[in-house]
Structure 1
Amino acid sequence: MEWYPLQEEVAKVVGERATNFYCYAISTKNECLICSMFFKKILDDLGIDFENFAFTEEEQDLMEYGRLLVSSPETIPASLFDKLKERYSEQQIVLITAFGSMMIATNLINTALKVELDDILLPYTKK
């Protein structure tokens, strides 16, 4: 599995914007500076202030799911799974979960290896 092809598949299911929110929520919860700033740049370039944005219910559910994948995957509430099951097929939920897990792995690799921010991302650490 490769990150970009999997990301494209998830975006086909939930949309590009929701995919970026999902990744940003995972990366900030995982405290991965490089990935958080990568997605902050994308959102800023789209004119989206993550802290003050009016998310759709679907986007909120995906972000909650992503954060729980990071912090406590064993305690994801049945009510959240029920919402996901209303919107997505079982195969799509597996896809979203696999992609979230890959995002978590990317965060951990960047953090463990102390990957430095690219110069293009440095300004986003100050916002």
Structure 2
Amino acid sequence: MARVKFIESVDEAQGKAKEAYEKLVSTGKITNMKRALLQDYATFDAFMGWYTSWARLVEIIGQRAATVYAHAVSTTNSCQLCSLFFISDLKALGIDPNGFEYEKNEEILVKLARQIVKDPTSVPDSYFEELHKFYNDSEIVAIVGFAAQMIATNNFNSVLKIDVDHRLLPIVGEFKPATWRKDIK
């Protein structure tokens, strides 16, 4: 159960959050995370920048690689909600989340994603040498920037224990929490 109340109706929202809620409901884009974020419009607005970053990421690396990358960030960070969204998205692309071969660029993106989550101060220079085979500096900034936004989203959902959205409940058993932190003191 979430640690904060969700905005469940337009009457519960205040100011700009009210307009945002109405728009999300009318477009069918309301999620439990957004219902929580709408408790504070400035925070909601900041987190909605994720969509701009996502669009740029897809433009640079393509839908498949972007989904693989976001999945790697979220599963390494052990965010149940985000991991399930990207498990669902991988399946929608016809990809088995538990067993598929990475494209060449996806290999380095997954390695980068995992390292950024585990220890961002120790990302090896060799990763950037590999990245530069596929991407220029501007694109690498967007790739790393997206990972940072994904981590913020993961942390928001995990810390506040945002409930899994209804559409993801059928696959909830497919989430496997990361275990790499178990020995960290």
Task: Report the TM-score when normalising by structure 2.
Answer: 0.66
Q: Distance in 2 between matches of 1:73 and 1:66?
A: 9
Q: Distance in 1 between matches of 2:98 and 2:146?
A: 23
Deviations 1:41-83 (Å, cap 9, x if unpaired)? 1111222112210111101110110111100112212211101
Query: Runs of 4+ in structure 1 displaced over 2 angstroms?
Result: none
Q: Size of the alignment, in residue pairs?
A: 127
Shift of 1:126: 2.2
Shift of 1:6: 1.0
Residue 67 of structure 2 corresponds to 20
Residue 147 of structure 2 corresponds to 100
Greater RCO, 1 or 2 (C-alpha within 8 Å, sep 6+): 1
Residue 67 of structure 1 corresponds to 114
Q: How well do the aligned residues superpose, as a CA RMSD in angstroms? A: 1.1
Residue 50 of structure 2 corresponds to 3
Establish whether residue 114 from structure 1 lines up as the match of residue 167 from structure 2.
no
The sequence identity of aligned pairs, in percent, is: 37
Superposition pairs of residues 21-36 of structure 1, within 5 angstroms: 21-36=68-83
3-state DSSP class of the match of 1:23?
Answer: helix
Establish whether residue 38 from structure 1 lines up as the match of residue 51 from structure 2.
no
Q: Distance in 1 between matches of 2:92 and 2:141?
A: 30
Q: Distance in 2 between matches of 1:124 and 1:59?
A: 24
Q: Distance in 2 between matches of 1:91 and 1:82?
A: 15
Q: Is contact 2:64-2:93 (8 Å) kept?
A: no
Richer in helix (by share): 1
Q: Distance in 1 between matches of 2:142 and 2:94?
A: 28
